[in-house]
Structure 1
Amino acid sequence: MHPILFHYPASPWAEVVRLALGLKQLTWGSVEVPAICPKPEQEVLTGGYVRTPVLQIGADVFCDTLAIMDALEARWPEPTLYPEPLGRGHRALAIEAGGATFLAAVAVALGDLPVAGNEAFWADRERRFGLRPEAFRAMVPGLQQAFAAHLARLEAKLADGRPYLGGDRPGHGDLAHAMLLWFAARGGPAQQVSATLAPWALRVFALGHGRPEAMTPAQALAEARAAMPSVSGNGQLARVSQQGSADPPVIGHLVQETADGFTLLRHSPELGPVAVHFPREGQIVEPV
């Protein structure tokens, strides 16, 4: 069963997944969703999770890039996203590309984005994340300096001539940090890329996006309806929400937990049973 990605072209974290699909040279279903809420078909699939991207494999749904990468690696292990000698250290390296580092890239990409003509975008980000344009702009100069410092750290990692951050083969960490350059470049030519970083970034983006095949949301939901999830059970009823977000929670039975993530089993009136998988990082799990 092939993977299906819910995404939109300008989504930075979806770009990480698209590059992973390219690294593994997979054929995948491409379902484009809006950049802002509502995302009705995605919400039916996930039970309310509206962030981008989301990966679907039959009746299993993977929310957040970390859970998606784990799913791709488990089902299509070669070429690996975690080559030695760094191995699973690539996951930690990818996590470094989130949080404050990602916010710094956002400042480079969107620091001059006007409110006029982008009212719906800013209203969505303020409602969901508390990102007010005027407060964000006040932080932009400091965040841009932080992003420049991050690029300097990347240069130092590559200064010995290695082709990728972990050695001779690309991994999850390369995809996540190259995404930051891809996203920041939307902010215009002010952010220069050094002679050290440019060849590395070109090698990463040469991986491509695999073989996407356009799908409608209805086709993706039909695949979920026709399949059964990979897990079952009747665990504790729980809700999952994301740190720093006002997005609605996903509610289901907590049926699986591992060191890296956990799974809620939902019974959707539209689709039947659906397993929704989350990573540990960035999630808030509470009993209902």
Structure 2
Amino acid sequence: MTDLILHHYPTSPFAEKIRLVMGRKQLTWKSVFIPMIMPKPDLTALTGGYRRTPVLQIGADIYCDTSLICDVLEHRAPTPTLYPEAVKGAARIVAQWADSALFTAAMAYNFQPAGVAQVFAGAPAEAVQAFVADRAAMRSGGPRMSSADAGATYKSYLRRVANMLHGQDFLFGDQPCVADFAVYHPLWFTQERTPALAGIFDATPEVKSWMARMGTIGHGTGEKFSAAQALDVARSATPAALHDDVFQDEHGIALGSTVVIAADNFGLEPTEGELIAATRTRYTLRRSDERAGTVHVHFPRVGFTLKKAAA
């Protein structure tokens, strides 16, 4: 049960990031479509609460957050690498910036009225209202950047990306790395989902050329798969053995404790389970679900909080 199963939906920018990584590594994977908004009962049966898109499943192992998913796919298919040795630290830092600051500015820009009209063309008003309410809940009531501020910020970020591309095909050289996939996905949304706003790229022709190169990578070989089939896979599989990484205790919480893990800034739905691993890069929880069976749910340390569950 080692098939790659990606839980996603076609218009998700973060899912596009992972679909392109699959293409770069020429992987074959199974595609399970999930709802854009809550509730997502089939997904949360696997994750225990985490609801962001995408989620990667391998048997009874569930991987949350695209930064961790990229690491898992790198281990699965080491070449071509996402992390060239000479630049892997810088590439990871740029990827983290892209997944947070760049994504936030780009999406606030994309969801101005002209963009909303394209994203929801033909959709009933209640569907738009449900989406807006869902995303507000994911921000936990926090403010969203205005489209004017977002536009100015987005333009500034695009100029910085163009500067990185000067004289080379990709952000760190002649081959794409993890930074390219992270920077690309919010720009992809502008280009593909809100083309009325894509004129923002006209001032940075280097970025437009780079986007065209990224777009040719493709998605590997995706095969349709149902949520019911994915749950069957989890229920009939045994989680993979954990590596003997050294336990790194930053919280004074022992392995075997019941804990809660949640994202630290967006999509804060918690996952509760037994802490069975805390390495220098990730946490792993063991949890059981009536539909999914016993699974291991994995999270990166960066971007997530760990707390002991309330008694």
TM-score by length of structure 2 reads 0.86
Cα distance in structure 2, aligned partners of 1:171 and 1:256: 28
Which residue of 1 is the match for residue 287 of structure 2?
266
Could you say which residue in structure 2 is the equivalent of 1:240? 261
4+ residue runs over 6 A deviation = none
Identify if the C-alpha distance between structure 1 residues 164 and 18 changes in structure 2 by more than 3 Å, giving closer, same or farther. Answer: same
Shift of 1:79: 1.6
Q: For the residues of structure 1 that align with 2:78 and 2:286, how far apart are their CA atoms? A: 25
2:236 corresponds in structure 1 to 226
2-side partners of 1:131 and 1:143: how far apart? 18
Letter in 1 for 2:274: H
Compute the displacement of 1:100 (Å): 2.5
Residue 201 of structure 1 aligns to a residue in which SS?
Answer: helix
Task: Assess if the C-alpha contact under 8 Å between 1:61 and 1:275 holds in 2.
Answer: yes
1:74 matches 2:75: yes
State the percentage of identical aligned residues.
39
* 1:83 aligned onto 2:84: yes
Deviation at 1:258, TM superposition (A): 2.1
3-state SS, counterpart of residue 78 of structure 1? coil
> 227-236 or 118-127: which moved more?
227-236
Q: Distance in 1 between matches of 2:236 and 2:89?
A: 34
2:157 to 150, 162, 171: 150
Alpha-carbon RMSD across the aligned residues, in angstroms, is: 2.0
Match of 1:38 in 2: 39
The alpha-carbon deviation at position 231 of structure 1 amounts to: 3.9
Residue 286 (1) aligns with residue 307 (2): yes
- The CA deviation string for residues 226-282 of structure 1, in whole angstroms up to 9 with x for no partner, is 211124696221101122346431111111122221111112232322010101122
Task: Give per-residue Cα distances to partners, 1:11-61, cap 9 Å, x unaligned.
Answer: 111111001000000000000011100111001111111111100001100
CA drift at 1:131: 5.7
SS at 1:95 equivalent: helix
1:60–1:275 Cα contact (<8 Å) kept: yes
1:108-123 matches, cutoff 5 A: 108-112=109-113, 113=116, 116=125, 118-123=128-133
Distance 1:250 1:21 in 2: 27
Q: Secondary structure at the match of 2:299?
A: strand
Q: Which amino acid aligns with 2:172?
A: G
**Counterpart for residue 250 of structure 2:** none
Residues 85-164 of structure 1 correspond to what in structure 2 (within 5 A)?
85-112=86-113, 113=116, 116=125, 118-130=128-140, 136=144, 139-159=146-166, 161-164=167-170
Q: Does 1:169 align with 2:175?
A: yes
Q: Is there any run of 5+ residues in structure 1 with no aligned partner, and where? A: none
Q: Tell me which residue corresponds to 2:184.
A: 178
Cα contact 1:83–1:170 (8 A) shared by 2? no
Aligned counterparts of 1:181 and 1:266: Cα–Cα separation in 2 = 36
**Residue identity matched to 1:266:** R
Q: Please say which of residues 222-231 and 142-151 is displaced more in the overlay.
A: 222-231
Helix, strand or coil at the partner of 1:28: strand
TM superposition score normalised by structure 1: 0.92
C-alpha distance in structure 2 between counterparts of 1:123 and 1:162, whole Å: 42
Deviation at 1:109, TM superposition (A): 1.3
Q: How many angstroms does 1:130 deviate by?
A: 4.0
Give SS of 2:14's match.
helix
Task: Return the letter of the residue paired with 1:191.
Answer: I
Q: Which residue of 1 aligns with 2:63?
A: 62
Q: What is the CA–CA distance in structure 2 between the aligned matches of 1:121 and 1:17, rounded to whole Å? A: 23
